[in-house]
Amino acid sequence: MILHLKNNITEAEVNQIAEAHEGLQFFDAKRWVVVTSSSQKKPLKEWEHHIEEYFETETDIQLAGKKYLNQTRSVKWNSIEIGGNGFSTAMMAGPCAVENESQIMESAEFIASLGIKTFRAGAFKPRTSPYTFQGLGLKGLELLDKVRNKYGLSIITEIKNLSHAQQVLDVADIIQIGAKAMYDVSVLELCGASQKPVLIKRGFGTTLQEFVQAAEFVLCKGNPNVILCERGIRTFETKTRFTFDLCGAAYLKYHTNLPVVLDPSHAMGYSYGVPDLAKASMAFGCDGILIEVHPNPAKAKSDASQQLDFATFKKLMNDLQIIGGAVGKKLV
């Protein structure tokens, strides 16, 4: 249950109301909000005079649910806005990782030359093996800052764990929380204390309920700027890296109030399938598409098999614009 409290209330009273309902409280820029377990259906009688409005929720999809807010939230960074009116699909493109200065600058120059505004690349890479490239770390963040200053691109980059979370928050325009880090409540809570957009990737063994609950950890700390990203889940199939769960994405689009971004690159794992899946994503009407692009994919230090080369990506951008026109979406 979600309670909107009346404005003429003291913080001490807010705390008492939260405690009495065994819930937690945050200020959402307009009012105090108390969120309780979904098993509670009605506010307690003795506090009714402080309650403006309340919302029953069936499951622990609460602040993220359409029962609470029956429209997609608008999320903004620099000149870009997604969600809200629903007409924009943001392209988030760039290499898997920042590898060195020339690779990242060459990538950024190419992405900017296509009119794309949002550049992706990881400085802290959550790798499966400890013996592979783990990212440039803080040096990578410095290079991303340089990219922003030189090309005016917005930066989306990932927090792998708490050790560097504040540094990423300082540099990124959008924080990415990866498929593995999405269970790290301390990272989610820290992002909740910021107002920066946070893109949460679905873990590959994560149910839709658990995925949205990760978003709830950010939302209930007072950051409404949360984006969900489907990037493939693990099934019995091994011919592709993961299985792109468009059914899950349709569920999220219908049942939640959060913008949905699709990531065909990590789902497919092989560059040959990425353009087709990206086109399907555009036709799907998602709020953003995340694609890995590299100046020389064969030489990439991570995710080499799935990154698109420049020529393929350029052609894809053209196709996506055409598909966007057909489904009433503008690529931004």
Among Mn ion, ligand PEP, none, what binds residue 286 when CB lies within 5 to 8 Å by partner kind?
none
Q: Which amino acid, residue 315?
A: K
Return the number of other C-beta atoms located less than 10 Å from residue 207's C-beta.
Answer: 12
Q: How far is the CB of 96 from ligand PEP (least distance, A)?
A: 5
Considering CB under 5 A, how many residues would be counted as binding Mn ion?
2
Q: How far is the CB of 178 from ligand PEP (least distance, A)?
A: 3
Considering CB under 6 A, how many residues would be counted as binding ligand PEP?
8
Q: Which amino acid, residue 134?
A: Q
Residue 187 contacts ligand PEP per CB under 6 A: no
Q: How far is the CB of 263 from ligand PEP (least distance, A)?
A: 6
Q: Let me know if 212 is exposed, middle or buried by CB neighbors in 10 A (0-12, 13-18, 19+).
A: buried
Q: Output the six-digit token pair for 294.
A: 């590299």
Nearer to Mn ion, 99 or 303 (CB): 303
Residue 231 contacts ligand PEP per CB under 6 A: yes
Nearer to ligand PEP, 34 or 215 (CB): 215
Q: How far is the CB of 261 from ligand PEP (least distance, A)?
A: 11
Nearer to ligand PEP, 121 or 219 (CB): 121
> In this chain, which of 63, 147, 179, 274 binds ligand PEP, going by CB under 6 A?
179
- Contact region for Mn ion (CB under 5 A) — 94-102, 131-139, 145-153, 209-217? 94-102
Nearer to ligand PEP, 5 or 98 (CB): 98
Q: How far is the CB of 127 from ligand PEP (least distance, A)?
A: 8
User: Which candidate, 155, 99, 103, 147, places its Cα nearest to that of 125?
Assistant: 99
Q: Which amino acid, residue 182?
A: M
Encoded one letter per residue, x for contact with ligand PEP by CB under 6 A and - for no contact, window 259-288 reads: -------x----------------------
Nearer to ligand PEP, 216 or 303 (CB): 303
Q: Let me know if 247 is exposed, middle or buried by CB neighbors in 10 A (0-12, 13-18, 19+).
A: exposed
Residues between 288 and 327 that touch Mn ion (CB under 5 A): 303
Q: Output the six-digit token pair for 46.
A: 């003795």
Long-range own/partner contacts, residues 53-56 (CB < 8 A, 24 or more apart): 53/3, 53/4, 54/1, 54/2, 54/3, 54/4, 55/1, 55/2, 56/1
Cross-strand bridge partners of residue 157: 175
Q: How far is the CB of 17 from ligand PEP (least distance, A)?
A: 38
Residue 274 contacts Mn ion per CB under 5 A: no
First-last CA distance in the chain: 36
| Eight-class DSSP state of 79 | T
Residues between 83 and 102 that touch ligand PEP (CB under 6 A): 96
Contacts with 78 (C-beta within 8 Å, 6 or more apart), sequence order:
117, 154, 173
Residue 96 contacts Mn ion per CB under 5 A: yes
Among Mn ion, ligand PEP, none, what binds residue 231 when CB lies within 5 to 8 Å by partner kind?
ligand PEP
Contacts with 311 (C-beta within 8 Å, 6 or more apart), sequence order:
none
Nearer to ligand PEP, 3 or 97 (CB): 97
Biggest distance spanned by C-alpha atoms of the chain: 66
Residue 126 contacts ligand PEP per CB under 6 A: yes
Q: Which H or E run includes 89?
A: strand 88-94
Torsion of CA 56, 58, 61, 63, to 10 degrees: -10
Number of residue whose CB is nearest ligand PEP? 178
The site for ligand PEP (CB under 6 A) is made up of 96, 122, 126, 178-179, 201, 231, 266
**Which residues contribute to the site for Mn ion (CB under 5 A)?**
96, 303
